[in-house]
């Protein structure tokens, strides 16, 4: 499909539908919800019942099939092409490439970056994960509002993946000797997710790699107190091991930095 004719849907941050440089206004929560739910499928069919539940939730219309068909007709007019929304057996499909839905592209990049990290290629991992993190934007861990409105499970999955992508990128940066960049990135992440233990452990590593052991130990104590006071919990095994290693003045070798999800 010609690049200027391709439909693009932005779900991370401010919602936007566009072709080329031209924005496509999508007025109304239900119409927008229909487009979002279809876009999340990345060109796959979505069953009629799933769409009705996503759009009308606790207040389904008396004639759901007709109401959905009417809404689909409105969406086709809004997008300017009847072919953008295809009717298939039991449901509808949005003609859109995965690469043109930013939330799906983010997931692709985050997964590819982690694969490269596990394969022992931190340079490639850093490049791919950097693109993913940039695509996500600010506030890792925050659920995209337009996604949460029609697909709560997908919003939760995306939010989790955004935090792990930042942590994975920090692992790659640490492996490449870029401890300062990793520390800045993890500090920003912990401002949003203050007790994310994997990020805390990685920040402790980043600080220690810069000779800032005292700051790393102080960070551990702050998080330990927060966990105890707010959640009534102790730090997990991995974080306690980081703390013990720092107390022994040991630094992690670049090839032993944890790449596992906490």
Q: According to DSSP H, which parts of 119-177 are helical?
A: 122-136, 145-150, 152-175
By DSSP bridging, strand 7-10 and strand 85-88 are unpaired
> Among 185, 74, 203, 175, which Cα is nearest to 136's?
185
Q: What is the mean pLDDT of the chain?
A: 92
Asked if the model's pLDDT at residue 253 lies above 70, the reply is no
Name the residue with tokens 């839905």: 101
Cα–Cα distances in angstroms (integers) from residue 103 to residues 29, 93, 115, 126, 242, in the given order = 19, 17, 19, 19, 33
Residue range 195-248, pLDDT digits in tens: 999 999 999 999 999 999 999 999 999 999 999 998 899 999 999 999 999 998
Mean pLDDT of 37-54: 97
Mean pLDDT of 178-202: 95
> What's residue 261's pLDDT?
42
CATH number given to 3-98: 1.10.10.10
Flag whether the pTM goes above 0.85. yes
Ordered by start, the domain boundaries in the chain are: 3-98, 102-256
In CATH, the architecture of 102-256 is Alpha Horseshoe (1.25)
């Amino acid at each position: 499909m010609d690049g200027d004719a391709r439909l693009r849907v932005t779900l991370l941050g401010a919602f936007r539908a566009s072709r080329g440089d031209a924005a496509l206004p999508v007025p109304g929560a239900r119409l927008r919800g229909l487009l979002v739910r279809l876009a999340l499928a990345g060109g796959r069919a979505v069953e009629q019942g799933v769409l009705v539940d996503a759009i009308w939730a606790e207040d389904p219309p008396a004639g759901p099939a007709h109401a959905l068909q009417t809404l689909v007709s409105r969406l086709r007019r809004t997008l300017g092409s009847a072919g953008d929304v295809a009717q298939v057996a039991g449901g509808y499909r949005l003609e859109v490439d995965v690469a043109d839905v930013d939330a799906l592209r983010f997931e692709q990049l985050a997964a590819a970056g982690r694969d490269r990290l596990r394969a022992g290629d931190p340079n490639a991992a850093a490049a791919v994960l950097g693109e993913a993190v940039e695509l996500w934007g600010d506030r890792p861990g925050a659920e995209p509002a337009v996604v949460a409105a029609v697909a709560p499970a997908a919003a939760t999955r995306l939010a989790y993946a955004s935090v792990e992508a930042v942590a994975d990128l920090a692992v790659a940066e640490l492996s490449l000797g870029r401890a300062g960049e990793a520390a800045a990135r993890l500090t920003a992440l912990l401002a949003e997710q203050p007790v994310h233990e994997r990020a805390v452990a990685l920040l402790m590593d980043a600080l220690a790699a810069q000779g800032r052991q005292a700051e790393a130990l102080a960070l551990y104590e702050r998080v330990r107190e927060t966990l105890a006071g707010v959640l009534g919990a102790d730090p997990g095994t991995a974080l306690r091991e980081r703390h013990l290693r720092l107390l022994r003045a040991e630094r992690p070798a670049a090839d032993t930095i944890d790449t596992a999800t906490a």
